[in-house]
Amino acid sequence: MLRTLLPLSIALLAAPAAAQDWTIDTDASRVGFVTQAFGGSVEGEFTDYEAAITLAPADLGNARIEARVGTASGSTGNGQLDDSMLSEEGLAPDSHAAAHFLSEDIRATDTGYEAHGTLSIRGTDQAVILPFTLTIEDGRAVADGELEIARTDYGVGAAGWGDTAANVTIVLHIEADATN
C-alpha cells in the first residue's frame, strides 16, 4: 500500500495548481472612478458590470480576465456632469453600450499583480497595465486596483471640455467566490 501511496502523493504535490474560475459578488464589489472637474474632485461609479475571471496565483499562465461595463450605468450623482459623461461626446452609451477589458497576461509583482491587456472605450482600444492586489481566503477572492487613463485617448469629450476630467482613475474593488 505504501508503494502505491508514495508515488501518488509525489504526483499530486508536483501537479501544477489548476486555474480557478471566479464569480463576482456584485453586492460587495464596486467599479468606480475619480477625476477632477471644475476645481474639485468628482467620484462616481458604474453599477452595470460583469466579468469572466480565471485566476490562480500558482497558475498565471492560464489566467484570463474579461470584463464588461455598461456605459449608461455611470453616475456621479451630479446631473450636469452625468449628462455630459453620458452624452454622444462623452461615453456615448447609445452607440457604445459597453466598455471592455481583456487580459490574458497576468503577472506577479513585488506588490501584487499586473493585468496586461486591452481597454476598449467608445470602440477605441488601448494597451493598459492594471496593477492590483489580491487576497484569497476560504474560496473568497478580494482584489483592489486602480488604473489612470486619459479620456482623450479614447475619444471621450468635446472641445469645450478643456481640462475637465482630463485624467480619470478607474477604482476597482472586486469580491468573488470560487466556482470550481
Per domain, the residue ranges of the chain are: 25-178
Give the C-alpha separation, 33 to 144, whole Å.
Answer: 13
**What does each C-alpha distance from 8 to 19, 27, 58, 170 come to in angstroms?**
21, 42, 20, 46
Residue-level pLDDT at 160: 86
Residues 141 and 159 sit within 8 Å (Cβ to Cβ):
no
| Cα 51-171-169 angle, rounded to 5 deg | 120
pLDDT in tens, the chain (180 residues): 434 333 433 333 333 457 899 999 999 999 999 999 988 999 999 999 999 999 999 999 999 999 999 999 999 999 999 999 999 999 999 999 999 999 999 999 999 999 999 999 999 999 999 999 999 999 999 999 999 999 999 999 988 898 899 999 999 999 999 996
51 strand-pairing partners: 67
Residue-level pLDDT at 17: 58
CB-based burial of residue 87 (10 Å sphere; 0-12 exposed, 13-18 middle, 19+ buried)?
A: middle
Residue-level pLDDT at 3: 44
| Cα 68-102-149 angle, rounded to 5 deg | 80
| Cα 81-84-85 angle, rounded to 5 deg | 85
In the block, residue with C-alpha cell 485624467: 167
Residue-level pLDDT at 159: 83
pTM of the predicted model, to two decimals? Answer: 0.88
Residue-level pLDDT at 82: 96
Give the C-alpha separation, 76 to 115, whole Å.
Answer: 27
Residues 53 and 24 sit within 8 Å (Cβ to Cβ):
yes
Residues 109 and 129 sit within 8 Å (Cβ to Cβ):
no
Class of domain 25-178 as given by CATH = mainly beta
